[in-house]
Chain A
Amino acid sequence: MTTMLYSNRPAKAVQRRMLIETCRRLSAIAPLTSYQYVGFGGLEFNDFVDAHNALGITKMTSIERNDGLVHRIEFNKPYAGMTILMGEARDQLPLVDWRVPAIVWLDYMDPLSRDVLRDVEYVVRTASPGTFVAVTVQAGLGENLSSRVQSLKNNLDDLAPETLATTDVEGWGVADIQQEILASQVDIYSKEAHGSTFHQVLDIGYQDVARMTTWGGVISSATTARSIEQCRFDDLSFVRERGRAGLRIKVPDLTQKEWKFLEHAIGNGRDPSFTRPKGIDKSDVAAFADVYRYRAS
C-alpha cells in the first residue's frame, strides 16, 4: 500500500527476491501454479510480476485502501485478469477464496499493532495449510529511545513485554520484540485453527528509508507437516526458522565497478574480504555477500 518507487529502495527489492526464492520451495507441497498470490500491490505491483514470472502464478488479488488511486491502479495493474479489491484489508480479505492455497504478503508501512495482528490472525486462521504468509512491518518507531518503548506499548498494549528498558529497543531491538510477539501470536492462532504451530521461515530486517522487517512462513498441519519438511527451506542461507536470530541485511553503498569486482571474486571462489578493493570496509563486503545474488537488476 505504498506509492514509493522500488528503484529507490534496494534493500526492499533484495528481501522481495528472497521471499520469492523461498516460495519456489513450496512446490514440494503443491504445484506452484495451483497457488494464488494475495498482496498489497500499490501502484507498482513488483511482487505480483515476480509471483507470475518466477512462480507462474496466475490467480492474483491486490488489496488497496486508498480509493483515490482506483484509476491509476487500473492503469498500472500488470495483468488484466487479476482482482483488485478496494478498501481496508480487514474488510477485503474475507473476499479472497481461502480454500485455494495462497502466498499472502501483508506488506504494511506501519509498525506492528493490534490492527495488523487482526489481519494476520484472520489469514492464519482462514487460509488452508500449505499457505505461505509473510508480514512486513516498520521496526523504526522514531529516534527517541523512550518514545520507542512508549510506541511499542501503545501499539500492542498487553502484548508488549511487561518490562521494557530503553536498551531493549536500540538498533534492531524493536524488530526483535515485534517479531517475537508476531511469531508467538501466530503460533496460538495456528494451533487453534490447524492443530500445529506455524512453520517460520523468514525473519529479514532491512533498511531503506526506515528499518523494516519481513517475517513469514508456512501454515502447517498434521497432514502437511511432512511435505513442508520436504521444502528444505533451511538449504537457503537467508532462511531463519524459529529460535534463530533474525537476518538483518544491508545493501552496501558500492559503485558498479566495485560491485562487479566483488561479484567476480566470489564467483571465482575467492574470499572477497581478502581481495577487496582498498578503502572498502570489511563489514560492507560481508553485507555484500548476504545480498548480492538478490540485488534488483
Chain B
Amino acid sequence: MTRDPKRVEAGAEKRFFIEMLTKDIELLPAIADLVDNSVDGVRHRAEGDDLSAFWIRVNASADGFEITDNAGGISADIARNYAFKFGRPAGFAGVPGSVGQFGIGMKRAIFKLGSAFEVQSSWHSEDSEQSSTFLIKENVATWAGVEDDWSFRFAELDERTDLVAAGQTGTRILVKPLHPSVSDDLGNAATINQLKIELSTRHQESLLRGLLIEVNGDALKGHEPSLQMAPELQPINRQFTVMATQGDETGEVRVRLVAGTVATPSAMRNLDEGQASNFQSTGDAGWYVFCNGRLLLAADRTVVTGWGSPAASYHPQYRTFRGYVYMESDDARFLPWNTTKTAVDRDSAVFREVASQMKVALVDTQALINRVKAERERVALLEEANVPDIPETPLVESVTNSPNVSLASLPVSETIVSPASATLPALPKVGPKIQRIQYQVEIERYDKLAKILEVSSGSELGRATFDYVWKAEVSE
C-alpha cells in the first residue's frame, strides 16, 4: 500500500490516550461517574417524580467492581454508534435532563478501575417493540495493543423485537481484574464508606425521590434538607429562570434558591458561641448547589458563594446557615458546570447571575443571625444590670424555637420573613470604677501639711495631696 507522502501522522497512541484520560480523575469520582450514568437513565425513564421503581447496585471489593441497574438499558444501536465513542458526535441528541454530556465518563471510569471489563445491557424501546441485548467483553491491554482500530466488538448480540420485557431492562458493568492500587483501595472499608458518603450526598435528590442505590448490599439514605420555619419566620424560597447561551443556541435554566437557618439542638442554646462550636459540627453550614439533581458544591463557605464579599466571612456564629440552589435544564450544556461535572463553572454567565442572588440571600440570612445575636446579648446585659420590665423579644424567641421543616414543605417567599427587633431600653449608665487609697503619716507631718493646704481632716488632706500630684504630673 503506497502512502500519501503529504500525510502527516497526528493520531493518538491508545496507551497514551488511556493515561491522559485517567490521570486527572480520582477513583471515587470515576465510580461516581458510572453511578451518574445510571441515575441519568433512571431520571430519563421515570414518569413523574417517583423513582421508587428503580435501583442501582454497586459491588466493590478487592476482586472486582460491578454496577447493575434497571435504568432502561443501552440499545445495541446506541452502543454501536455512540455509547463507546470518545466524545459525543455533533448530531447526537443526548438524553433530556441528563448530566452526561461529554461522553467520556464510562470509558474513563473503566480504564481507571481495571484491565478487563464487560458491559452487558438489555433494552426495550419506550414507544415501539424494538429491543436488544448485547455483551461487550474486552481486555484493555489487548485492545490497546492493536494499532489504528479503536472499536470494540459485541461478544453477544441479539436484536429481535420484544426480546426482553419492558420492566427488565438494564445494564451491568463489570471491571475485573482491577489495577493493583484500585484493588487495594476497594478492599479497604474506609474507601467503601467514603464512596457511600459521596454517592448519598451527590444523589440525595434522587434518593429522596425513591431511587434505591445500594453499595455492597447497603441501601443509601437520602438526607432531606430542612430549614427553620414558622408562620412568622420564613426562609427565602424563590424560583426563577435564567437564559443561557451556548454558541448560537439559547436555553432556559430553571433555578430554585432556598436559604435560611436550621434549628440548633436545644442543649446548645445556652452556651456561648465559642463553646457551642466545640460541640456542634459546623461542617454542614454553607451553600449546596445542584445541577440536574447532582450536587456540585457542598457546604461551600468560599468567596464563590459570597462568603467574605459581600457577606461576612465564615464564623461559627453562622453555623446555622444553609442555602440550597437547584438548577435544572433539559439540555445539560446550558448548566454551569465544568467538563468533569464535579464543580461549578464559576465563569459562566448563568452561574454569575445565580451567584449574585445567592450572595444577597447570604447577607440577608447573616443579617437575621446577627440581629438575633445582638438582641440576645443586649437582653443578657439588661438582665445582668437588673433592669426591670425587659420587653418580649419575638425575634429571638422565634429563631430559638422554630422547628426545621423539609424544603418541599416551605412556602414561596422572595425574602426572609422574621419578627421585628424588639425596642429594648438603654443600658443603665455605669459610673467610673473607684479605687480607695489609704495611708498613714506621722502626726507632725500631717499637721504641717494640713496648715499649708488649708484642710481640716485626713480625708480632705488625702484628696488634696492626690490632686496636687495629679495636677503637677498628669494634667497640664
Contact = CB atoms under 8 A, between A and B. Distances in A.
A121 interface: yes
A94 B309 contact: no
Contacts of A91: 366-367, 370-371, 374
B450 interface: no
Contacts of A195: 353
Contacts of A93: 363, 367
Interface residues of B, number: 25
Contacts of B416: 94
A125 interface: yes
Interface in A82-134: 86-88, 90-95, 99, 114, 117-119, 121-122, 125-126
B374 A87 contact: yes
A67 interface: yes
Contact of B360 (A99, A117, A125): A125
B309 A67 contact: no
B352 to A, nearest CB: 5
Nearest to B352: A192
B364 interface: yes
Interface string B358-390: 011001101110110010000000000000000
Interface of A is mostly: helix
B426 A70 contact: yes
Contacts of A86: 421
A118 B366 CA distance: 13
A99 B371 CA distance: 22
B363 A122 contact: yes
A90 B363 contact: yes
A66 to B, nearest CB: 11
A118 B311 contact: yes
Contacts of A68: 426
B374 A125 contact: no
Contacts of B312: 90, 118
A192 B352 CA distance: 6
B399 to A, nearest CB: 14
A20 interface: no
Contacts of B367: 90-95
A195 B245 CA distance: 14
A94 B352 contact: no
B458 interface: no
Nearest to B354: A192
B310 A122 contact: yes
B360 A192 contact: no
B355 interface: yes
B168 interface: no
Interface in B410-432: 414-416, 421, 423, 426
A253 B368 CA distance: 48
B352 A118 contact: no
Contacts of B194: none
A99 B426 CA distance: 33
B356 interface: yes
A95 B370 CA distance: 13
A122 B360 contact: yes
Contacts of A114: 309
A145 interface: no
Contacts of B370: 88, 90-91
Contacts of A265: none
A1 interface: no
A5 B421 CA distance: 30
Interface in B301-345: 309-312
B347 to A, nearest CB: 11
A118 B355 CA distance: 15
Interface in A189-203: 189, 192-193, 195
Most A-side CB within 10 Å, residue of B364, B367, B416, B426 = B367
A193 B423 CA distance: 34
Contacts of B423: 70
Contacts of A87: 371, 374, 421
A88 B367 CA distance: 9
Interface of A: 67-68, 70-71, 86-88, 90-95, 99, 114, 117-119, 121-122, 125-126, 189, 192-193, 195
Given A91-B370, A117-B310, A122-B310, 6 more contacts: A67-B426, A91-B374, A118-B311, A119-B310, A189-B310, A193-B356
Nearest 6 A-B pairs (CB), nearest first? Answer: A121-B310, A193-B356, A94-B367, A91-B367, A94-B364, A192-B356
